[in-house]
């Protein structure tokens, strides 16, 4: 369960780099009911914030990195971005964006893990992160597809101190590893990781990648909005026992995300 009690090592923010900011804002507005608030359009800035019911849920910006694919970047809370950067380097990761202050909002850095999956951290200043989680139209889970689950557990365990527990998927679907922040109980599970073959990671050119799972009130209705607005569906909608009804989707620029209607408890 992701909450707005942003404990160390827990997801606290996510933003999308999109080739067309206006089109991305319209797409996610239609699919997730988000409202977009621009922070400006200039040579230095083209982006803004997504809100749901008046609460900030995510960010959106212009994709400017040459050769990069449009994708969601997930940020995790840390007490010290500089110390985390040192931990990433010791564990064999790469620093993509060195720690830097964003005015007095906070301090951020972006990395790649040793196999190439990208993620980021946020050291809070006056802004702790998103204001809504685990509700329809907000982040409810994070997920890593990786070609080496054992190596991923060693790396992220060393960087964040995450706790891991494995479960076997039904029908011989493989092993899924559940992730919980250090020192927190099982009900604070925030995500999972799963081993896939390199050829099944074609979306990111064979590299592992993280993606967000958004809670929705009606998975099938959300999927209909995805396809009506130029997106596509990679898998589902399908029921997952004990989890809910979900679908793996792509937006019109092929940024991947999941929509999930949680199972009733």
Reported as a pLDDT band with limits 50, 70 and 90, residue 40 is low
Q: Which CATH architecture has domain 138-262?
A: Roll (3.10)
Reported as a pLDDT band with limits 50, 70 and 90, residue 44 is very low
Average pLDDT over residues 226-254: 95
- CB contact burial 121-146 (16+ within 10 A = b; e otherwise): bbbbeebbbbebbebbbbbbbbbbbb
Q: What is the pLDDT of residues 70-100, one digit of tens each?
A: 999 999 999 999 999 999 999 999 999 999 9
C-alpha span between 211 and 257 (Å, rounded): 6
Q: What is the mean pLDDT of the chain?
A: 94
Reported as a pLDDT band with limits 50, 70 and 90, residue 265 is low
The answer to whether the CB of 206 falls within 8 A of the CB of 131 is: no
Lowest mean pLDDT among 106-110, 170-174, 199-203: 170-174
| Bridge partners of residue 163, in order along the sequence | 180
The answer to whether the CB of 11 falls within 8 A of the CB of 1 is: no
- What is the percent of the chain with per-residue pLDDT over 70, rounded to a whole number? 97
69-151-129 Cα angle (round to 5): 55
Task: Give me the pLDDT at residue 123, please.
Answer: 97
C-alpha span between 195 and 198 (Å, rounded): 9
- What is the percent of the chain with per-residue pLDDT over 90, rounded to a whole number? 86
Task: Give me the pLDDT at residue 43, please.
Answer: 45
Task: Give me the pLDDT at residue 169, please.
Answer: 84
- The CATH superfamily label for domain 11-124 reads 2,3-Dihydroxybiphenyl 1,2-Dioxygenase, domain 1 (3.10.180.10)
Where are the CATH 3.10.180.10 domain residues in the chain?
A: 11-124, 138-262
């Amino acid at each position: 369960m992701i909450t707005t009690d942003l404990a160390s090592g827990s997801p606290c923010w996510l933003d999308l780099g999109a080739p067309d900011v206006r089109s991305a804002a319209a797409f996610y507005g239609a699919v997730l009911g988000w409202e977009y608030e621009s922070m400006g359009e200039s040579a230095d800035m083209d982006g803004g914030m997504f809100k749901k019911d008046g609460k900030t849920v995510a960010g959106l910006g212009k994709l400017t990195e040459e050769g990069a694919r449009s994708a969601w970047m997930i940020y995790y809370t840390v007490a010290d971005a500089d110390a985390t950067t040192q931990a990433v380097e010791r564990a064999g990761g790469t620093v993509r964006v060195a720690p830097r202050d964003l005015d007095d909002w906070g301090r951020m850095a972006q990395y790649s893990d040793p196999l190439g999956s990208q993620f980021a951290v946020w050291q809070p200043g006056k802004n702790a992160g998103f204001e809504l989680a685990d509700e329809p139209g907000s982040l409810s889970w994070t997920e890593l597809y990786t070609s080496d689950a054992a190596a991923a557990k060693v790396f992220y365990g060393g960087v964040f101190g995450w706790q891991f527990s494995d479960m076997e998927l039904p029908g011989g679907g493989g092993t899924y590893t559940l992730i919980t922040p250090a020192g927190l109980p099982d009900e604070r599970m925030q995500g999972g990781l799963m081993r896939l073959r390199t050829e099944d990671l074609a979306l990111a050119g064979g590299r592992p990648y993280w993606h967000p799972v958004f809670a929705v009130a009606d998975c099938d209705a959300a999927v209909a909005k995805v396809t009506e607005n130029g997106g596509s569906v990679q898998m589902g909608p399908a029921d997952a026992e004990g989890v809910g009804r979900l679908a793996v989707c792509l937006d019109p620029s092929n940024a991947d995300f999941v929509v999930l209607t949680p199972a009733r408890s």
